[in-house]
Structure 1
Amino acid sequence: MIHNPYLQSYRNYLKLERSLSVNSIEAYLNDLNKLSQYFESLEQHPHIKDINAEDLKLFISWINELGMLPSTQARVLSGLKSFFGFLMLEEVITTDPSALLETPRLGRHLPDTLDIHEINGMIAAIDASKPDGMRNKAILETLYGCGLRVSELINLKISDVFEENEFIRVIGKGNKERLIPIGVTALKYINIYLQETRVHIHIKKGFEDYIFLNRGGSRLSRVSVFSIIKTLAIKSGIKKSISPHTFRHSFATHLIEGGADLRAVQEMLGHSSITTTEIYTHLDRDYLRGIINGFHSRS
């Protein structure tokens, strides 16, 4: 259905002009693949120029009938809009069939968070006598202390740490660079790991500057970080479904509950829109009730 020249050109567009990560590019291409699967289910193979708005509406109905969540449907629709927008830019098509499609309404999702006692419990569950113990302590302290995405954590380099100024440099989504304050506790465990554990690892060529390494001397993978978090959650008796991203949620929530400026938190998280950051203002009811009772004139 979709000719290879268009796909390759679209891939180049996403990489070079929109500066998207490899994972984001693959997500966009997977959205197009779902459209191909839809037409294959109908035993149809239309040319990309012949796809119209009605085809896309029927496609959206099809993925809805498959039981796809509204959030997933919205992401697929966003991918289609991006692709047809690209075809318009390239003058492959003269009318955008996705222009009038409406995005499914989404409920505001409130992410799970950990309280400070749960975070301390997970860190305490780490066996510091094991070779990877101090590395794992540094990982948890950095995730919570800086609010990093897991991809930002595994790509963090020694040259990105400005210890004297207590800042780290992070390359986030879209290759956007930002500076984030790092606390003395996270710095302490990073230094212990670098000086007492990492120095004994035979580091593979090309990975000398990466902070967090596996036992083979290569950069730690996303899967490994997920596994570390899941194991520690079980060891510390936490029943919540958590991931490395939970520490990012907790970082933002605790800052805002403590009175931090929303725009400062937006900057540290690397959100392009403050609307995304506002999801972290889900403060507990007792806290909100206390604010009303303490400050509202009619309380």
Structure 2
Amino acid sequence: MDIDAFVTAHQPTWNRLERLVQRRRELDGAEIDELVDLYQRVATHLSIVRSGSRDPMLIGRLSALVARARAVVTGAHAPAWREFVKFWTVSFPVVTYRTWRWWLGTAVVFTAVAVLFAAWVSGNPEVRAAVGTPEEIKQLVEHDFANYYSENPAGSFATHVWLNNAWVAAQCIISAAVMGLPIPQILYTNAANVGVTGGLMIDAGRGDVFFGLITPHGLLELTAVLLAAAAGMRVGWTVVSPGPRPRSQALAEQGRAVMTLVIGLFAVLLVAGLIEALVTPSPLPTWARIGIGVLAEAAFLSYVIVYGRRAARAGETGDIDNAPDFAPAS
């Protein structure tokens, strides 16, 4: 099917239905009859497009139009709870799942940089001397690092951590507007900070304290931040290599995918913040605190793999413009 010719031929019909839907409270009898007729015709167009084209933008547009027209014709609407469930079982996990290559690559590079910095600092007295005086390093490794997690009330600390992590993730998301170019620097700075602190703690013989405090919340926290960074860089790469789609269409799709991630990561970072405020400084044994962090990370990754893979196999994209289709396709 020549999709361009099909769009050209039926665009006036779609525009007319759109106008009638927008004026739904002002329609007279003849216009109501016209709206019902156009709704049936556009539903048929949607069925044709679905069977003869893989253009997600066009399918999403017609799906939304047919759903809105059906709501006017029948008075039906999508319950809010259904939209909520769809977001968490389809939209967010499928967008996350479809980003896995960028996400995994980002995680590998981030970890490598942090490990290299830790090894460099722990094995090089000259580097440690450049980081701080012996008194400053002693204060950090013996007091400041551990006290950071318990010196403030849990509630205010959780809020502070949540907002701070959300800001780092937001920087990555915002950077998508400039092709993601600042993101490597943002990640490098954070990886270097983690590596330097870890190197100082390990050199002082307090590596168990470092990993015992950073692991419970750090796994989920870094996973979320690295996902935001991966999504931002993926948008930037779309500018360079949009694939078979028009560049504007590819960018629009990736941009909406990023917005879906923003909402989902807001909740994920909240969980990480609560773990950091309530579990990390708790009197639980180290193995128990680390176990909680590992379980939280495993639960999130399992959720993404199970629901994301299922949605991807069903042809879902997570595009927020591709609203749930409550209208018949034929």
Report the structure, 1 or 2, having the larger strand content: 1
Q: TM-score, normalised by structure 1?
A: 0.28
Report the structure, 1 or 2, having the larger helix content: 2
Q: Which has the larger radius of gyration?
A: 2
